[in-house]
A and B are shown apart, each in its own frame.
Chain A
Amino acid sequence: AQKVTQAQTEISVVEKEDVTLDCVYETRDTTYYLFWYKQPPSGELVFLIRRNSFDEQNEISGRYSWNFQKSTSSFNFTITASQVVDSAVYFCALSESNTGKLIFGQGTTLQVKP
């Protein structure tokens, strides 16, 4: 069965701190894609990044970086120098190979305090 686990339910940091959100997944597919989405208080899910199973190179986009490790089935997300606007719920998701449907983790609520 396919599954995504985000063990951290809530994280609270002070502005400018770095924070890492953990994601562990299970799948039997040999080719798969992993995603991170952000859900701000307004409720709309916003796409952040996509990563395929063949590319383990870490990616950096501004203050965001992602660490994909196939050996440990993890796809962790780090925000450097966090800002209050980063406060949101963050979801990690695994895409099913044939249908493209997303299997989401339970989400991590990040609160960044000024």
Chain B
Amino acid sequence: DTGVSQNPRHKITKRGQNVTFRCDPISEHNRLYWYRQTLGQGPEFLTYFQNEAQLEKSRLLSDRFSAERPKGSFSTLEIQRTEQGDSAMYLCASSPLTGYSSYNEQFFGPGTRLTVL
């Protein structure tokens, strides 16, 4: 396993369309995080899973956004009725759950760059 992978790497869509991104974490990593990064800013937390359970969602995650992690393996992030403000880089990260939870470094994928026209 060489790391976290994300697909697609780039997605261009028209406003109002639905899009879905996939993240494959490092095997056996219990935690999976989604972040959004806009130009010139640091990544912002969206949501995270511990195994298959979604434990927290940011206020940034409107009801047009939904994320799943079936069977605690890969995760998908879907955006419905995309808006131009959704244009950003969507980053996925995974980490093991050992010891103190905030100790573990997160391993990031290459991201999916979304452009909404």
- State whether these chains interact: yes
A47 proximity list for chain B (CB < 8 A): 105-107
Number of A-B contacts (CB under 8 A): 74
- The interface bits of chain A over 59-103 (1 if a CB of B lies within 8 angstroms of the residue's CB, else 0) are 000000000000000000000000000000001010111111111
Whether the Cβ atoms of B105 and A97 lie closer than 8 Å is no
Whether the Cβ atoms of B107 and A101 lie closer than 8 Å is no
Chain A residues bordering chain B, tally (CB within 8 A): 29
Whether the Cβ atoms of A106 and B41 lie closer than 8 Å is yes
A4 proximity list for chain B (CB < 8 A): 42
Check A99/B105 contact, CB under 8 A, given A42-B110, A43-B110.
Answer: no
Whether the Cβ atoms of B101 and A106 lie closer than 8 Å is no
Residues of chain B whose beta carbon lies under 8 Å from any beta carbon of chain A: 31, 33, 35, 40-45, 48, 55-56, 89, 91, 93, 95, 100-111, 113
User: Closest Cβ of chain A: how far from B56's Cβ, in Å?
Assistant: 6
In angstroms, Cα B32 to Cα A99, docked, is 11
In angstroms, Cα B41 to Cα A4, docked, is 12
In angstroms, Cα B100 to Cα A86, docked, is 31
Whether the Cβ atoms of A100 and B106 lie closer than 8 Å is yes
In angstroms, Cα B105 to Cα A52, docked, is 12
A50 within 8 A of B: yes
Check A107/B31 contact, CB under 8 A, given A42-B110, A50-B103.
Answer: no
Whether the Cβ atoms of A98 and B100 lie closer than 8 Å is no
Whether the Cβ atoms of A100 and B31 lie closer than 8 Å is yes
Whether the Cβ atoms of B108 and A97 lie closer than 8 Å is no
Whether the Cβ atoms of B91 and A31 lie closer than 8 Å is no
In angstroms, Cα B106 to Cα A37, docked, is 10
Whether the Cβ atoms of A99 and B48 lie closer than 8 Å is yes
Whether the Cβ atoms of B111 and A102 lie closer than 8 Å is no
Whether the Cβ atoms of B102 and A104 lie closer than 8 Å is no
B106 proximity list for chain A (CB < 8 A): 47, 100, 102
Closest to B105 in A: A47
